[in-house]
């Protein structure tokens, strides 16, 4: 059986990393239009890359009789490239790199940034030299001068070490939970289906009429809409969000319906396809809880409740996440206690086939957290706040990883529950103080949004390894190596690009600048306007916590209970505003097929679903690449 992790698969991954990173960064910061490669899973650029490799394998095998990559190697490329491509997202390291010099380039006497917080920003994590920053922001320069490289080298090195440590802790946690979630709970992992079928069932997949029917439907829509983008006289098929970013909520003008907020309709083929791969009860729960959220808003208005922020649904979602995390720990207590008992009492443990020994994983978590504590102390965070801050962060990550394992919903930004927002609601800025507020601002890049976090990709990688025989121990260390390499590559691609075109003009005022303003204008407002704890928000968290416990209890006691609390956590999320209608279509179609056609028809539906996803990803990816190569905006099939 192939170990999957070979020098060949690693070399192929490394070769494709700079190309994919530039593809992501160019679209997400606005270098060529505006696209969000990493705002939905699976990442369409990764599927596109694997599809190209599959086609090359088929062609070479047919002509020369040689297999350039076996199944396990192809899946290894998918896993490592997915983990790597989480890094350059505008919900992760791109935000970091684009804000490293922002406080010093855009400081003015009017905004008073210099007086407010310059002295609190660590010299070793930021770039202060305006002569170095001028080339970055204005362009027509080069990264490759001694002064430029020297100025960026230290913050890039420290942030790379921090990122690697953060992802190492995630990997150690996943190594402990892997056996429970994959081998005992038998979770669905819908996101892994397309990669597994492409790599391991290529001949059967490509010979299926259902695959090409789904592919043709999605591809035809993407081709027609792409032509309509270039030639407006060509009619388009409206599958993207109705009402653009703002939705159609503004059309409701009468009370209480005008309280409905952002709501939209969309029919993305790849989202509908992924919905068809999800467990039916979870797909059903996702759109139902979204409508429940909107009903809360309307009912609040109807009752005349005028408390700002009420009913605090975002806080409810975080409370539900805490409840789910607690419930998962309680349900897994025997398993977790068995792991710790084996480690600390030196008892025999069944961990020979794990990515790393449990002793190593627990030591890794302890040492990793120790590093995060020391790093946080160095940037001024109070000792009492550090475990709370990272505790909240890892609770959210654990729930997202479980959500991807069970539900597989394509978008989980969780922008309604950033760690710093929860802390400010619960404690208030006055209690936190300037040092902590500055430290949390420096950390905003990795907990403002969670769409492209590495942790769920790691667990899905372990699932694919379990199915295909990939050596998980090699995979563990490969992920660490790819993370370190990828972190350096994010700095390199962004700095190389912006020293040529300029962050100001090249990004078109998008995320090349936007996050820096978000961080430091936000910090200024925190420092100017001290706030006390918001007890209404805390009440919302408490309600969400209790509500999730009730849902989990009902689900564990009654097999017919269709409402899953994980779907409630994402009910107020960014993606649900646009994708709830896709989930509605998927759940109705899947229910109908199961009812009328049974299990055999459902198996054909899986192939059709993969065809929908492939058609959208491949043709949509071609439009996106055309925009990157020509430096001209093209049709974006997503978002």
pLDDT of residue 262: 84
Pair 580, 242: CB distance under 8 Å? no
Segments making up each domain of the chain, as ranges? 7-630
CB 312 within 8 A of CB 540: yes
Q: What is the pLDDT of residue 509?
A: 57
Q: What is the mean pLDDT of residues 485-507?
A: 92
pLDDT at 34: 73
Lowest mean pLDDT of 209-218, 235-244, 343-352, 601-610, name the range: 343-352
Candidates 435, 448, 480; CA nearest to 174 is 480
How does pLDDT run across 84-136, given as a tens digit for each residue? 999 999 999 999 999 999 999 999 999 999 999 999 999 999 999 999 999 99
The mean per-residue pLDDT over the stretch 259-280 comes to 93
**What value does the mean pLDDT take over residues 167-177?**
97
The pLDDT of 533-548, averaged and rounded, is 94
pLDDT score for 466:
93
Q: Give the sign of the dihedral formed by CA 326, CA 328, CA 330, CA 334.
A: negative
In the chain, the percentage of residues whose pLDDT exceeds 70 is 98
What number of residues does the chain have? Answer: 639
Please, are residues 437 and 429 in contact by the beta-carbon 8 Å criterion? yes
Instruction: Tell whether the model's pLDDT for residue 626 goes beyond 60.
Output: yes
Which of these, 212, 204, 159, 94, lies nearest to 514 by C-alpha position?
94
Q: Which residues contact 229 (CB under 8 A, 6 or more apart)?
A: 236, 634, 635
Residue 308 confidence class, pLDDT cut points 50, 70, 90 = confident
How does pLDDT run across 178-224, given as a tens digit for each residue?
A: 999 999 998 989 999 999 999 999 999 999 999 999 999 999 999 99
pLDDT-based confidence at residue 359 (cuts at 50, 70, 90): very high
Angle, helix 269-277 to helix 576-630, in steps of 10 degrees: 130
Of 542, 270, 261, 567, the C-alpha closest to 412 is: 567
Q: What is the pTM of this model?
A: 0.95
Q: What is the mean pLDDT of residues 314-320?
A: 93
How sure is the predictor about 77, in pLDDT bands with cuts at 50, 70 and 90?
very high
Q: Which of 163-172, 188-197, 336-345, 392-401 has the lowest mean pLDDT?
A: 336-345
Q: Which residue has the tokens 């790393």?
A: 356
How many CB atoms lie under 10 A from the CB of residue 289? 25
| Confidence band for 230, pLDDT divided at 50, 70 and 90 | very high
In the prediction, which pLDDT does 348 show? 63
Per-residue confidence (pLDDT) for residue 351, from 0 to 100? 78
Which of these ranges, 44-48, 214-218, 329-333, has the smallest mean pLDDT? 329-333
The DSSP element (H or E) to which 178 belongs, if any, is helix 146-178
| Per-residue pLDDT tens over the stretch 411-457 | 998 887 889 999 999 999 999 999 999 999 999 999 999 999 999 99
Model confidence at 508: pLDDT above 60: no
User: Do residues 362 and 343 make contact, with C-beta atoms less than 8 angstroms apart?
Assistant: yes
Mean of per-residue pLDDT scores for the chain: 92
Residue 1 scores a pLDDT above 60: no
Supply the DSSP symbol for 491.
H
Q: What's the average model confidence in pLDDT over 470-478? A: 95
- H-only helix segments in 303-411: 313-331, 333-344, 358-378, 385-406
Three-state secondary structure along 231-264? Answer: CCCCCCCCCCCCCHHHCCHHHCCCCCHHHHCCCC
- Distance in angstroms (rounded) separating the CA atoms of residues 530 and 586: 46
pLDDT of residue 307: 85
Q: Is the dihedral of CA 261, 276, 415, 384 positive or negative?
A: positive
Q: What is the pLDDT of residue 539?
A: 94
Of 527, 524, 526, the C-alpha closest to 516 is: 524
């Amino acid at each position: 059986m192939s170990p999957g992790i070979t020098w060949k698969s690693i070399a192929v991954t490394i070769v494709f990393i700079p190309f994919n990173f530039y593809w992501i960064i160019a679209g997400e910061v606005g270098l060529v239009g505006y696209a969000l490669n990493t705002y939905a899973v699976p990442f369409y650029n990764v599927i596109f890359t694997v599809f190209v490799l599959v086609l090359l394998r088929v062609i070479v095998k047919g002509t020369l009789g040689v297999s350039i990559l076996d199944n396990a190697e192809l899946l290894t490329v998918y896993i490592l490239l997915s983990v790597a491509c989480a890094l350059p997202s505008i919900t992760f390291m791109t935000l970091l790199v684009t804000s490293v010099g922002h406080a010093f380039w855009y400081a003015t006497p009017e905004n008073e940034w210099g007086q407010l917080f310059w002295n609190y920003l660590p010299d070793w994590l930021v770039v202060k030299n305006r002569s170095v920053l001028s080339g970055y922001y204005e362009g027509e320069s080069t990264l490759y001068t001694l002064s430029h490289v020297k100025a960026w080298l230290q913050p890039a090195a420290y942030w790379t070490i921090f990122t690697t440590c953060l992802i190492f802790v995630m990997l150690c946690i996943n190594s402990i939970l892997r056996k429970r979630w994959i081998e005992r709970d038998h979770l669905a992992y819908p996101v892994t289906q397309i990669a597994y079928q492409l790599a391991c069932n290529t001949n059967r997949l490509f010979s299926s009429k259902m695959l090409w029917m789904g592919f043709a439907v999605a591809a035809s829509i993407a081709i027609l809409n792409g032509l309509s983008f270039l030639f407006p006289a060509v009619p388009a098929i409206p599958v993207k969000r109705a009402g653009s970013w703002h939705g159609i909520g503004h059309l409701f003008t009468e009370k209480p319906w005008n309280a409905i907020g952002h709501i939209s309709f969309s029919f993305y083929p790849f989202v509908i396809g992924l919905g068809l791969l999800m467990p039916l009860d979870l797909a059903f729960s996702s759109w139902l809880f979204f409508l429940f959220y909107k009903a809360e808003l309307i009912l609040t208005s109807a009752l005349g409740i005028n408390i700002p922020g009420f009913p605090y649904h975002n806080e409810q979602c975080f409370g539900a996440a805490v409840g789910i995390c607690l419930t998962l720990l309680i349900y897994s207590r025997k398993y977790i206690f068995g792991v710790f008992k084996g480690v600390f009492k030196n008892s025999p443990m069944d961990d020979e086939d794990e990515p790393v020994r449990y002793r190593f994983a627990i030591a890794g978590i302890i040492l990793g957290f120790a590093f995060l504590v020391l790093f946080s102390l160095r940037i001024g965070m109070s000792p009492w706040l550090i475990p709370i801050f990272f505790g909240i962060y890892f609770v959210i990550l654990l729930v997202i990883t479980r959500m991807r394992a069970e539900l597989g919903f394509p978008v989980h930004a969780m922008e309604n529950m950033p760690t710093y927002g929860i802390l400010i609601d619960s404690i208030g800025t006055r209690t936190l103080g300037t040092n902590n507020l500055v430290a949390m601002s420096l950390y905003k890049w990795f907990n403002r949004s969670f769409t492209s976090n590495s942790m769920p990709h790691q667990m899905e990688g372990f699932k694919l390894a379990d199915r295909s025989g990939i050596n998980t121990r090699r995979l563990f260390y490969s992920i660490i190596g790819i993370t370190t390499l990828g972190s350096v590559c994010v700095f390199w691609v962004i700095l190389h690009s912006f020293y040529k075109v300029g962050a100001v003009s090249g990004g078109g005022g998008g995320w090349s600048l936007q996050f820096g303003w978000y961080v430091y204008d936000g910090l200024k407002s925190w420092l100017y306007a001290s706030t006390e704890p918001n007890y209404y928000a805390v009440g919302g968290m408490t309600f969400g916590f209790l509500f999730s416990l009730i849902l989990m209890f009902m689900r564990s006691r009654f097999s017919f209970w269709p409402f899953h609390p994980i779907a409630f956590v994402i009910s107020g999320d960014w993606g649900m505003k646009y994708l709830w209608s896709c989930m509605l279509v998927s759940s109705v179609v899947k229910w109908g097929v199961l009812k009328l056609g049974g299990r055999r028809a459902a198996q054909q539906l899986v192939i059709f679903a993969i065809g929908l996803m492939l058609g959208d990803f491949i043709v949509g990816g071609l439009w996106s690449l055309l925009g990157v190569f020509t430096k001209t905006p093209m049709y974006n099939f997503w978002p």
